[in-house]
């Protein structure tokens, strides 16, 4: 595995993204909805840089089943706060094809938030398949499989304090 961003570089990117969010919302109270499980580390770090009053909730959205190939998207909103009439920021770890984010946004709009924006740690512009761009982006990355800082490979490596690209040898034992 090859380190793509060190923990200090990640902290700097999250701080820059938070500055943009602070400029956008000012002192307006904000409800943050993190997408489990990948956004947990970003969510924890990001909210420490925000200046406005913040409410935090989560939802679970997943299309991966025991491997790295996507399947049907399932969204579970049971742990999410009420966002109706609240300025809401959806926080996710990575914007890849964009299908997950677009689907989650469709579901969240049903609750009629006052506003709804998105923040992602990473964006793979080369993989984009939808007509949507996140409002706040920490880093642009090439089309590589990355782990660490909340992102996983087969539920492993989320705990790495840096972001790393997996090399072909790292995936050599993958039979899925």
**Cα separation of 44 and 48, whole Å?**
7
In the chain, DSSP assigns E strands to 2-5, 30-36, 54-64, 70-76, 87-95, 115-123, 136-140, 146-147, 163-165
Paired tokens of 37: 């499980």
CB of 18 within 8 A of CB of 50? yes
Q: Which of 45, 93, 96, 152 is catalytic?
A: 96
CA nearest to 145, candidates 92, 73, 93: 93
CB of 84 within 8 A of CB of 112? yes
**Cα separation of 167 and 88, whole Å?**
37
| CB atoms inside a 10 Å sphere around CB 84 | 12
Query: Can you give the C-alpha Rg of the chain in angstroms?
Result: 16
Instruction: Give catalytic status of residue 131 as yes or no.
Output: no
Catalytic residues, which ones?
96
């Amino acid at each position: 595995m090859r380190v793509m961003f060190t923990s200090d570089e990640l902290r700097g990117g999250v701080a820059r993204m938070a500055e943009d969010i602070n400029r956008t919302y000012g002192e307006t109270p904000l409800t943050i909805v993190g997408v489990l499980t990948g956004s947990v580390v970003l969510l924890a770090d990001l909210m420490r840089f925000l200046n406005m009053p913040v409410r935090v909730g989560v939802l679970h959205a997943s299309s991966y089943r025991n491997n790295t190939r996507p399947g049907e998207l399932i969204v579970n909103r049971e742990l999410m706060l009420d966002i109706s009439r609240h300025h809401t920021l959806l926080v996710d770890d990575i914007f890849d094809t964009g299908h997950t984010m677009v689907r989650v946004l469709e579901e969240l709009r049903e609750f009629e938030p006052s506003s709804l924006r998105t923040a992602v740690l990473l964006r793979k512009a080369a993989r984009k398949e939808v007509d949507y761009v996140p409002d706040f982006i920490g880093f642009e990355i090439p089309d590589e499989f990355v782990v660490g800082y909340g992102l996983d490979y087969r539920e492993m490596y989320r705990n790495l304090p840096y972001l790393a690209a997996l090399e072909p040898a790292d995936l050599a034992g993958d039979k899925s």
